[in-house]
Structure 1
């Protein structure tokens, strides 16, 4: 496995492990429902209990996202969000003194158009810690994964229920930061069918790597988070949070005084659910 040295992501997972608990990884879409409100949400997430933040890069043609995240991306694009503005959000977050790790999650096209070398230089300077690019398989590592690692940016790979033991070593080969286990086949926002099956899958992945394993797709409530945290190193929540944004908007799709707190209140509930596992351990 290629490494990037000691990163904020590694430091944060180690700190959570020292507390005897999983990390809470929260996903929000950059620019949703507008740049100002999305920035306020981003800055509020650490205080609400987020250990790591996945910041979704809006894209016109998402292939792995369910309806809530698709709509979030559409709202952001309509409001004028760009990859450059997303990097500026991260830069502002760092200038405000936040050290919470940030992972940009999205698709290769916006990065390709931006220019890989320029993007990695700007992302690193802004304070981006990692990337999840769902449409670049391991066979295409030379495109972005290896340059990212060389630039000191973690490249986080997805493993799924269909990633068998023959495929898994290839998936893990250049993965760094953590492994993101997708709890189900299909798109974001579904429902987890079996917590036991997820736990078994995490254990199987751990037999192949020393990296932390975070589980996402289908985690919606504090009870879900608590159940997943019993076997995983991290719990990822996305669709439920962007749905909180949508539900808080006014009749014309604009942010209200409730938008930021609608997100942070759920983050606090999820964090409490995860910490219940540590207290029970």
Structure 2
């Protein structure tokens, strides 16, 4: 057994002293003011114990981490039909790149790049209005985290709407190929609101437990997704969750993980733990500089990499 309390304390101390902290996402004005001195970490294990360090209870903008929960919703709505409109391959390109959409007929490479997540938002709109669809997603995350205080940061949502020109271009481009059913304006209304959901490390680690627990919600034992679907979401997180740095993250950390430009990362050790880290300073690929380093240290100390012998616990 690992002494997770001591491990988290050690990693937190190391991250708080780290000299290279990255830069915040300054192209979104509401995120540009983020304090890169902050670092938080939370681990929720399969037996329900919680281990936290640093600013683990400080809310932050989830940004692309919400794509995991939105994808879960979309798969619940349309199942494998989703893969007719979104691929399952790493992109090898920046998260907001438009380059591949031309040659691939408006079909995004995967649901975790911006173009793919915009299509997922289109699916989740179904026949409803953006506000209702966003409320449904917020309620879903609250249910997963067992916390009704989770909400959308309206300042961040407004900031995204004012500056999200690349996402507007992506939506319109996919619409031209017939890969959006609703208007780009409606889809982006949901997408920008989704990205502005704010949570703490503790809340995020709690929300990710179903991916650790083979699709079950540990709070009540209810099934969120099938075991097979949980495994496939984890596979996509491992191969596509860090954009054009996904291979490097798998090499260094070896856990399914999804990052966001708010500085958060949700990581999963299947059968063992749901993990969240946050530090708003980003590296060149738009992933948390210290969050990535902290997860690498955690995987080394615990042996939880999915590539390690005996790393995945029986579920």
- TM over 0.5, shorter chain: no
The TM-score normalised by the length of structure 1 is 0.30
